[in-house]
Amino acid sequence: MSTLAHVFEEAGIATIVLSSTRSVAERMNAPRTLHCEFPLGRPLGRPNDAEFQHDVLLRAFELLDENAGPVLVQHPVSIEADETPLTCQIPPRFDPNLHPAVDEAQGLRKAYDRSLATRGSTNVGRSIDADGVPDALLTLQKIVDGEPWKEVGIPGGNTTALCHDIRTYYEEAALELVGALDGSGDVPDGRAAEAWFFASTEGGKTLMEARQAIQDQGGPFPVWFYMAPGHR
């Protein structure tokens, strides 16, 4: 975004950048930057807090009054990411003959569908749709079992997109199960659903084992590394 800001400014278009990583903002020297020490993925800070979000936007637009830059202003409130996993009860196993991750994913389908109905949209779809999640998990398990990652037929041919869709399917279902979408429960902290997926689900376990297997097979860095967030 900082790079694009320089390009747009040269074309005569005033820009504002909302920064999440101060060291990057300082290095890129965009003309006007509001640095917000918030969890990644939450550029406006607090979900469902319109007053706080409007304050962030107001402080950002006030930077347009600056005639000379680069200007880097820090939002006065810092919000730390909480790595405590979401407390979410996974539906009990239904078919013990299925791979645990597949049975688990199928058990989450009704919750995912309710989430889709409530939100009216989904972030699943870079590589597969919800129907493809069980087969995608089986594909990852084949890699865990020793099949070459280049030969298993990764849906869409992109491990990053595939794993994004699997994780998003789980997280959207989980948010429905804990009542975060209809207001019956609290909105979880920034990384709570992510931490739940990797720490508490068979799907997360399978994904991480496949990631390690691809690395062990000598797969290129981008192929395995971006299957999960970098800090994992």
- Cβ-contact 28, 70 below 8 angstroms: no
Average pLDDT of span 127-148: 98
Task: Identify the residue with better confidence: 54 or 29.
Answer: 54
Percent of the residues in the chain that have a pLDDT greater than 90, as a whole number: 68
pTM above 0.85, yes or no: no
Spell out the domain ranges in the chain.
2-74, 100-225
SS3 state at 95: coil
Q: Is the pLDDT of residue 121 over 70?
A: yes
Specify the pLDDT at position 190: 66
Query: To 10 degrees, the CA torsion angle through 201, 123, 215, 105?
Result: 30
Q: Is the pLDDT of residue 181 over 90?
A: no
Specify the pLDDT at position 9: 86
- State the pLDDT confidence band at 91, using cuts at 50, 70 and 90: confident
